[in-house]
Amino acid sequence: MRIGLGFDSHRLIAGRPLYLGGIGIPHPKGLLGHSDGDAVIHALIDACLGAAGEGDIGQLFPDTDPATAGVRSTILLQDVVGRLRKKGFRLGHADVVVAAETPKLGPHFEAMKDALCPLLGLRRDGLGLKAKTHEGLGDIGHGRAIACWAIVSLVKIPPRKK
């Protein structure tokens, strides 16, 4: 079994749709980024790549590539999980902590699981989602940014019997 850790943060700015955990969330601000800015998925991708020894999201999807400008991060995650499968890995579990002062994320966790579990190839109890505020401190606490940490385990897929 292999373990990977990922982190990501993005600025929250007015006038962008908010995408987090693979879903759109109604909010006056959205995450600024080359893609849709989904920090939960970006942290999950880096955790997956780290566990597989495959570098990081910036190497795989450079923010200078016009092909990924504005892309939904769910597409990127699907690509990464496919790469892991080709290397003979599947996810064992994933666990996520999101630091956001607003919006409240707990009410959106079930919808996030609906979006993420099929992409990750996990059962609902294989994905942990937790939200923390930043107690009003710093940029996260003032609603100017959202940060996310993710940890995943990868397990080797047994070779098919001939």
Q: How far is the CB of 162 from Mg ion (least distance, A)?
A: 42
The pair phi, psi for residue 138, each rounded to 5°, is 65, -165
Nearer to Mg ion, 66 or 158 (CB): 66
Q: Which stretch binds Mg ion (CB under 5 A): 2-10, 22-30, 106-114, 133-141?
A: 2-10
Nearer to Mg ion, 8 or 101 (CB): 8
Q: How far is the CB of 58 from Mg ion (least distance, A)?
A: 9
Which 40-99 residues touch Mg ion, going by CB under 5 A? 42
Distance CA 23, CA 145 (A): 18
Q: How far is the CB of 157 from Mg ion (least distance, A)?
A: 28
Nearer to Mg ion, 77 or 120 (CB): 77
Q: How far is the CB of 10 from Mg ion (least distance, A)?
A: 6
8 scored as a contact of Mg ion (CB under 5 A): yes
Contact 45, 33 (CB under 8 A): no
Q: Which long-range contacts (CB under 8 A, 24 or more apart) does 58-65 make?
A: 61/35, 63/33, 63/34
38 scored as a contact of Mg ion (CB under 5 A): no
- Whose CB is nearest to Mg ion? 42
Nearer to Mg ion, 73 or 153 (CB): 73
Binding site for Mg ion (CB under 5 A): 8, 42
